[in-house]
Amino acid sequence: MSESTATDHHPDARPKIRLYVDGPLATGQAVGLDHERAHYLRHVMRRDRGDAIAVFNGRDGEWRATIDGFGKGWCSLTVDGRLRAQTAAPDLWLLFAPLKRGRIDTVAEKASELGASRIWPVFTRRTDPHRVNLDRLRANAVEAAEQCERLTVPELAEPVPLDRALAGWPADRVLFFCAESGSAIPVAEAVRAHATRPAAFLVGPEGGFDTRELDAIRNLPFVVPVGLGPRILRADTAAFAALACWQALAGDWAAGGDARPPYRSPDAPATPTS
């Protein structure tokens, strides 16, 4: 039996489920879902033919779509009409040293919720682990984007050594280096001073940067060392704190926003990750 309610079928109702899709979106457009998402809609959320969901692709805004049917390992949708126009997303990158599984998944999830436009794992001298499951991180970022109602999904950049990432750094983008020690500007002061520039944060590994890395980073002309208060934060906590500060002072939190209710209650099943 379908869990959809009468309001789900009303043409002006906002669907309770939203999914990210890769293809173009326009009225009348057919959209096909893969096995994982077809299973999620049919067997986890108990949706059926004729039920409505919301879809977005990061380019064309958010659209209402109707389920046409299910088959073995697939689901087809038809796009009905646009719910929200595409809007500009904050231009904010997060560079971080990979953490052990579980905590690295949380970094991808929360960075997506906090509006990061690019999530970039970088390897430092003290990074542990030394490999990253980028597909898993991307799945966590997509799921978070679906749940938090953002209209874009952050880019997951290929993991590279930190020195390689910094070697090709764009000159106009300020890099806030979250410093554990040494001279640093309070993060709020630094963000306000560079509020009009594209920005990024760099968070190091749990063991911190080694001395050679610290010297090299601090000597770069686009780097601004920032402090996150008097307490030593875990790497993932530092990332979330830094992103939240930037959003509050220079990002879309500062611009306000509407108060749409969530699509799903906190205890609703989440979209499966790989």
Domain 92-249 CATH class label: alpha beta
Q: C-alpha angle with apex 241: 239 to 245, nearest 5 degrees?
A: 120
In the chain, which segments carry CATH 3.40.1280.10? 92-249
Predicted TM-score (pTM) of the model is: 0.86
Question: Given this model, what pLDDT does residue 118 score?
Answer: 98
Q: Model confidence over 4-23: pLDDT tens digits?
A: 333 344 455 789 999 999 99
Q: Model confidence over 48-94: pLDDT tens digits?
A: 999 999 999 999 999 999 999 999 989 999 999 999 999 988 999 99
What is the rounded average pLDDT of the residues 193-198? 95
Q: Model confidence over 125-134: pLDDT tens digits?
A: 888 878 899 9
Cα 133 to Cα 135: distance, rounded to the nearest angstrom:
6
Name the residue among 187, 178, 176 with its Cα closest to residue 205. Answer: 178
Question: Given this model, what pLDDT does residue 129 score?
Answer: 75
Cis previous bond, 129, omega within 30: yes
Is the pLDDT at 258 greater than 80? The verdict is no
In the chain, which segments carry CATH 2.40.240.20? 6-84
Q: Model confidence over 99-123: pLDDT tens digits?
A: 987 899 999 999 999 999 999 999 9
Question: Given this model, what pLDDT does residue 264 score?
Answer: 38
Domain 6-84 CATH class label: mainly beta
Higher-confidence residue: 207 or 185? 185
